[in-house]
Amino acid sequence: MKKIPPRSRKVRILATLGPSSSSPEMIRKLYLAGADAFRINMSHGAHEDHATNIASIRALEKEFGRPTTILADLQGPKLRVGTFANGVAMLKVGDPFVLDRDETPGDATRVNLPHPEIYAALLPGTRLLLDDGKLVLRVQVVTDDRIETLVEVGGALSNRKGVNVPDVVVPMAAMTDKDRRDLSFAIKEGADWIALSFVQRPEDLAEARKLMGGYGALMAKIEKPAAVQRLDELLELCDAVMVARGDLGVELPPYAVPPLQKQIVESARRMGKPVVVATQMLESMIKAPTPTRAEVSDVATAVYDGADAIMLSAETAAGDWPEEAVAMMDNIAQSVEADPRYLDRLHFTETKPDPTTADALAEACAGVVNTVGATAIVCFTSSGSTVRRVSRERPSAPILALTPRQDTARKMGLLWGVHAVRTKDIGSFEEMIGKARRMALRHGLTDAGRKIIVLAGVPFGTPGSTNVIHVSTVRGDELKDRDEG
């Protein structure tokens, strides 16, 4: 087993796998370039292909002895028009255009829309956005099987292009039959996180949580205006959120997305929920070996805002420069984190603790680190909740999470500043302190003579019982004849 030191970078990088990154060799290159977690996009590819990629990721764990995180991203309900007799129709501004339940191929005057939920939700005056917002229709009249519109922004509309309904909440579940099959597959293959697309209501998360049956962690993708309006409710029910700027930027004006991104990141951080910023971060690197300066600034802004993770989509899934894209994102993040004002900017967002012992100790931990000059925070955890609380405070020292559970170690791969290690459980206070010092040394997070902070719960092995904070000085002989397992 090869050992590589923990990332010095605190923000995590999530890389999407696809045709450009589906070989074990390329996945390994992405990992070594800086990818901390991998996204399996269930919208594309067969289960067999995804299973092969998951096996390659798990092989990295054995090779490098480090838990590696897998996120399975469900497609969600995709609304699409039907087909056209000639494969495409030209819609002109000011012309009437009808969407109906008739499955006959369409033309420049009408097309099939096989989604009864839309007919029930629309009102006169609302908009329909087609083909990622390239075409805009304004609803005039709605019946149970017919939507009469006027074309406000025209263009070519081809077969099965997507439909967005930004002005109303469409009463349809966030999970389709395909999503249920994909979720079952993801759980069987051991994915650590499940991302739910097009979340609109708390009920969407409740359904997914029930189907997960207590397995894994649930991430809500915020990509609908309705989700933004109920953000706090959604944050209460999920384990993390993703700022999915692609579809959010279709249903809202582009200039509305940056302040919403900051709002979502800030809200998630206040509630102690990990937050991922995603979509088009280094878009030009799909075809070019270097990004634009604007893209570099975009990534840097997400890091300065305190996102737990930043994500690459098509750049690594289908681009010509997947390894270079990860390396570039890694370099940008390290450059930002080297800024002397970086931590000051992170703490512009106030994260008030809940009135619990665990939250009080997590908040105190960050202050103790600065006061005594500690080089690492070592957290003993079963569920990961203690580590999440400490990460929320964005301390200056790295966080070493020690857990006997592999699933917990893997899930923590999306937490800011956390290096997770699966290790044997402990049975006494003295054993805890000794093990904390040894593991911090072994993983390169401290040196002999330096101080570390130790957080744990007594009695040991009880989830959510954090009640001990201890400052300890590391000795030079800590590693003699020890096998932590």
Local confidence band at 271 (pLDDT 50, 70, 90 cut-offs): very high
The secondary structure of the chain in percent helix, strand, coil, rounded to multiples of 5, reads 40, 25, 40
Among 24, 22, 16, smallest CA distance to 60 is for: 24
CA-to-CA distance for 50 and 18, rounded, in angstroms?
A: 9
For residue 169, the model assigns a pLDDT of 85
The segment(s) of the chain belonging to CATH 2.40.33.10 are: 88-164
Return all residues near 411 (Cβ < 8 A) that are at least 6 apart. 69, 192, 193, 216, 217, 384
Whether 80 is catalytic is yes
**According to the CATH classification, is domain 357-473 in 3.40.1380.20?**
yes
Q: Is 281 helix (H, G, I), strand (E, B) or coil?
A: coil
Local confidence band at 351 (pLDDT 50, 70, 90 cut-offs): confident
**Level-2 CATH architecture, domain 12-76+174-339:** Alpha-Beta Barrel (3.20)
For residue 355, the model assigns a pLDDT of 86
For residue 456, the model assigns a pLDDT of 85
CB 135 within 8 Å of CB 145: no
Find the catalytic residue in 10, 12, 39, 422.
39
The torsion defined by the Cα of 485, 468, 416 and 76, in degrees rounded to 10, comes to 90
pLDDT at 98 over 70: yes
Q: What is the distance between the terminal CA atoms of the chain, rounded to a whole angstrom?
A: 13
Whether 371 is catalytic is no
Local confidence band at 41 (pLDDT 50, 70, 90 cut-offs): very high
Secondary structure E strands in 396-457 = 399-403, 418-422, 451-457
Whether 405 is catalytic is no
Q: What are phi and psi of 404, to 5 degrees?
A: -80, -5
pLDDT at 485 over 60: no
Find the catalytic residue in 29, 58, 78, 80.
80
CA-to-CA distance for 417 and 8, rounded, in angstroms?
A: 8
Model pLDDT for residues 232-262, shown as the tens digit of each residue: 999 999 999 999 998 888 888 889 999 999 9
| Whole-number average pLDDT of the chain | 93
Find the catalytic residue in 16, 68, 149, 279.
279
CB 57 within 8 Å of CB 70: yes
Higher pLDDT, 173 or 105: 105
CB-neighbour burial class of residue 83 (10 A; exposed 0-12, middle 13-18, buried 19+): middle
Model pLDDT for residues 432-445, shown as the tens digit of each residue: 999 999 999 999 99
**Level-2 CATH architecture, domain 88-164:** Beta Barrel (2.40)
Local confidence band at 104 (pLDDT 50, 70, 90 cut-offs): very high
User: What predicted TM-score, i.e. pTM, was given to this entire model?
Assistant: 0.91
Whether 279 is catalytic is yes
The segment(s) of the chain belonging to CATH 3.40.1380.20 are: 357-473
How much of the chain exceeds pLDDT 70, in percent?
97
Q: Is 453 helix (H, G, I), strand (E, B) or coil?
A: strand
| Cis peptide preceding 459, ω within 30 of 0 | yes
Secondary structure E strands in 105-154 = 110-112, 127-130, 135-142, 146-153
CA-to-CA distance for 472 and 454, rounded, in angstroms?
A: 7
Find the catalytic residue in 66, 221, 388, 450.
221
Among 217, 224, 230, smallest CA distance to 191 is for: 217
Q: Counting every residue, how long is the chain?
A: 485
Among 111, 13, 32, 60, smallest CA distance to 315 is for: 13
State how beta strands 163-164 and 127-130 pair. antiparallel
CA-to-CA distance for 441 and 480, rounded, in angstroms?
A: 12
Local confidence band at 446 (pLDDT 50, 70, 90 cut-offs): very high
How much of the chain exceeds pLDDT 90, in percent?
81
For residue 458, the model assigns a pLDDT of 76
Model pLDDT for residues 199-234, shown as the tens digit of each residue: 989 999 999 999 999 999 999 999 988 899 999 999
The segment(s) of the chain belonging to CATH 3.20.20.60 are: 12-76+174-339
pLDDT at 82 over 90: yes
Higher pLDDT, 3 or 160: 160
Q: Provide the CB-side half-sphere exposure for 373 (13 A, CA).
A: 5
For residue 32, the model assigns a pLDDT of 96
pLDDT at 484 over 60: no
Local confidence band at 481 (pLDDT 50, 70, 90 cut-offs): very low
pLDDT at 290 over 90: yes
Local confidence band at 462 (pLDDT 50, 70, 90 cut-offs): low
Alpha-carbon Rg for the chain, nearest whole angstrom, is 24
CB 49 within 8 Å of CB 21: no
For residue 480, the model assigns a pLDDT of 60
**What distances in angstroms separate CA 412 from CA 15, 266, 274, 415, one per listed residue?**
16, 20, 10, 5
pLDDT at 482 over 70: no
Model pLDDT for residues 358-389, shown as the tens digit of each residue: 889 989 998 999 999 999 999 999 999 989 99
How many degrees, rounded to 5, is the angle at CA 213 between CA 207 and CA 218?
Answer: 60
Model pLDDT for residues 164-198, shown as the tens digit of each residue: 998 888 888 889 999 999 999 999 999 999 999 99
Position of tokens 């930027």?
Answer: 249
For residue 222, the model assigns a pLDDT of 96
